[in-house]
Amino acid sequence: MLIIIGLVLFARTVKWADTWAAIRDANRGVLIAAALVNLASLAIKGVRWWIFLRPVGARSLWLAIRATVAGAGLNNILVANGGEAARVVFVARASHIQSAKILATLALERMFELFGYFILLAVAVSFFDLPSAIARLRPVAWVVLIGMGALMVYLIKRPEGVPVPAHPEAGWRSRLAAYMRHFLQTLGTISTGPRFTAALALSVGIWALQLWTYSLTARAAHFNFPLLGTVAAILAVNLGFAIRATPGNVGVFQAMYALTAVGFGMDKDQAIGVAFLIQTQQIIPVILLGVAAAPEFIFKRKQARRAEDEGLELHSRGEPAVG
């Protein structure tokens, strides 16, 4: 509620005519290019997840990319990144693999998203002159980065987990404990140096493509934002990316981008227009693609369930079940 009140108060200070002018006069061709770059970064996120999905049996790269797009689309219309849970459900259903294993792969994929962000933050605050609100995060950035590096070393070197019983005891506590053992055992099994190296390289590439997306969008709106300003803006708007206060983080994104731009001497109202353009080409195409992909997973599950039911019915009648 406090965030909503703050956004309302911030909106009252905006000259919306100037903001609309920045949006209206933007170069459509450059905006399309920015949207394509953003979609490329999303596809690479799917590749990063696939690196961890392969060893648990989900070997389809196309499945990983489609589920990533579907999850991102749902994140843009749900609060608190609800699309991430959907990704686990989609892949578990489509590949017929236990959800605990899929969740472990997603946990690693998300960890590298965070790792890439803190690499960008640590490098930026250590070697460039950024606004004080971001620069003061230097100790936090390096502590988190070192901690995450230690965690990765531990995951690679950790001993095998406790064996999971083939038939867990009845009761939700026992089932939850068995689920967590499956999760932790999978986490340890798929954590290897080569996979982590590949995922880290892809993470750096993904954040570089995001910087390019922001830069292209600013150029389309004739907003001469320096590259350092774009770096500061992408760090600022993603500070709370783990928890989204509004669907798609709309409003919060614009406020953070504009406040960062003002710190570099840029016009606030034009910056808000650029921020709306960034989110427009990041959200609308992803939602359309995500909505198009999500029903396929749902209907595929329903068809599989219907086939199983029909097979059981035939079997109960004494007829051979197919498959």
The 10s digit of each residue's pLDDT in 108-124 is 999 999 999 999 999 99
Least confident of 8-12, 18-22, 186-190, 214-218: 8-12
Other CB atoms within 10 A of residue 215 CB = 21
For residue 136, what are the domain limits?
16-304
Q: Looking at the domain assignment, is residue 317 inside a domain? A: no
Q: Is residue 298 predicted with pLDDT exceeding 60?
A: no
Q: Looking at the domain assignment, is residue 94 inside a domain? A: yes
- Distances in whole angstroms, Cα of residue 284 to Cα of each of 29, 83, 191, 230, 257: 16, 15, 35, 22, 19
Q: Looking at the domain assignment, is residue 1 inside a domain? A: no
pLDDT in tens, 63-105: 999 999 988 888 887 766 778 888 998 999 889 999 999 999 9
Of 88, 86, 49, residue with least CA distance to 65: 49
d(CA 141, CA 19): 33
* Count of domains for the chain: 1
User: Which residue did the predictor score with more confidence, 166 or 137?
Assistant: 137
Average pLDDT of the segment spanning 134-147:
92
Q: Looking at the domain assignment, is residue 6 inside a domain? A: no
Least confident of 98-112, 130-144, 158-172, 271-285: 158-172
pLDDT in tens, 189-217: 999 999 999 999 999 999 999 999 999 99
pLDDT at 323: 36
pLDDT at 74: 83
- Distances in whole angstroms, Cα of residue 108 to Cα of each of 50, 53, 115, 208: 11, 10, 10, 20
The model's confidence at residue 16, banded by pLDDT at 50, 70 and 90, is confident
SS3 of the chain: the string is CHHHHHHHHHHCCCCHHHHHHHHHCCCHHHHHHHHHHHHHHHHHHHHHHHHHHHHHCCCCHHHHHHHHHHHHHHHCCCCCCCHHHHHHHHHHHHHCCCHHHHHHHHHHHHHHHHHHHHHHHHHHHHHCCCCHHHHCCHHHHHHHHHHHHHHHHHHHHCCCCCCCCCCCCCCHHHHHHHHHHHHHHHHHHHCCHHHHHHHHHHHHHHHHHHHHHHHHHHHHCCCCCCHHHHHHHHHHHCCCCCCCCCHHHCCHHHHHHHHHHHHCCCCHHHHHHHHHHHHHHHHHHHHHHHHHHHHHHHHHHHHHHHHHHHHHHHHHCCCCCCC
The model's confidence at residue 52, banded by pLDDT at 50, 70 and 90, is very high
Helix orientation angle between 227-237 and 252-263, rounded to the nearest 10 degrees:
150
pLDDT at 99: 92
pLDDT at 288: 87
d(CA 308, CA 323): 10
Q: Looking at the domain assignment, is residue 53 inside a domain? A: yes
Q: Looking at the domain assignment, is residue 290 inside a domain? A: yes
Q: Looking at the domain assignment, is residue 2 inside a domain? A: no
pLDDT at 167: 58
Q: Looking at the domain assignment, is residue 139 inside a domain? A: yes
Least confident of 130-144, 162-176, 305-319: 305-319
Tokens 């936090």 sit at which residue? 140
User: Which residue did the predictor score with more confidence, 7 or 28?
Assistant: 28
Kindly report the length of the chain: 323
